[in-house]
């Protein structure tokens, strides 16, 4: 490296340009600190807005769920529960994840240890159009989704 190159030492007190460099560094540091403060203030405002929005959203969804659950109670009286009880006793009520019923059409999701349980369900009386829509094996369990109709022709 050549010795002809010069570096400005900002710590020397004899230079005339020294004050200009010190002032420019102080301005840059001040602007950086100011920008960090503004960003943190905006971030706090955004977090407060998001939490308020989620609270209002939760209130609205709970109101919707309450009104929809009231409507579901009215519809439940139309469902024939005797077959669903019989099927849930065969599968095991704790293994059923969801039951959907529309008139005579029933859809059940859940899991079982072996597929013989599903065979027993399909062999029951008054079950027509028995269909296994999904069947997956995970950790020695079969996750299933079955659909069938009760009685008559649908």
- Going residue by residue through the chain (154 aa), what tens digit of pLDDT does each one get? 456 666 666 666 655 556 777 888 899 999 999 999 999 999 988 888 877 777 666 666 766 666 555 555 444 445 566 777 777 788 888 888 888 777 778 888 888 888 888 888 888 877 788 888 888 888 888 888 888 887 654 3
pLDDT of residue 10: 61
d(CA 50, CA 142): 40
pLDDT of residue 36: 95
Q: Which residue has the tokens 């460099």?
A: 21
Q: Which residue has the tokens 């024939």?
A: 80
pLDDT of residue 29: 94
Chain centroid to Cα 71, Å, comes to 25
Token pair in block for residue 30:
């001040």
pLDDT of residue 116: 84
Tell me the β-bridge partners of 148.
106
What 3-state class would DSSP assign to 125?
coil
Asked if 95 and 144 count as a contact pair (C-beta separation under 8 A), the reply is no
CATH level 2 (architecture), domain 81-150: 2-Layer Sandwich (3.30)
Asked if 127 and 121 count as a contact pair (C-beta separation under 8 A), the reply is yes
pLDDT of residue 63: 66
pLDDT of residue 40: 92
């Amino acid at each position: 490296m050549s010795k002809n190159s010069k570096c400005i030492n900002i710590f020397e007190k004899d230079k005339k340009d020294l004050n200009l460099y010190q002032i420019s560094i102080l301005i840059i540091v001040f602007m950086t600190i100011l920008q960090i403060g503004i960003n943190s203030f905006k971030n706090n405002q955004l977090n407060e807005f998001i939490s308020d929005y989620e609270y209002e959203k939760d209130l609205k969804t709970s109101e919707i769920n309450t009104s929809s659950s009231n409507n579901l109670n009215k519809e439940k009286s139309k469902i024939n529960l005797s077959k669903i009880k019989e099927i849930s006793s065969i599968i095991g009520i704790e293994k059923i994840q969801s039951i959907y019923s529309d008139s005579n059409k029933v859809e059940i999701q859940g899991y079982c240890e072996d597929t013989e349980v599903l065979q027993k369900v399909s062999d029951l009386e008054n079950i027509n159009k028995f269909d296994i829509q999904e069947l997956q094996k995970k950790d020695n369990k079969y996750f299933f989704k079955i659909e069938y109709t009760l009685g008559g022709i649908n």
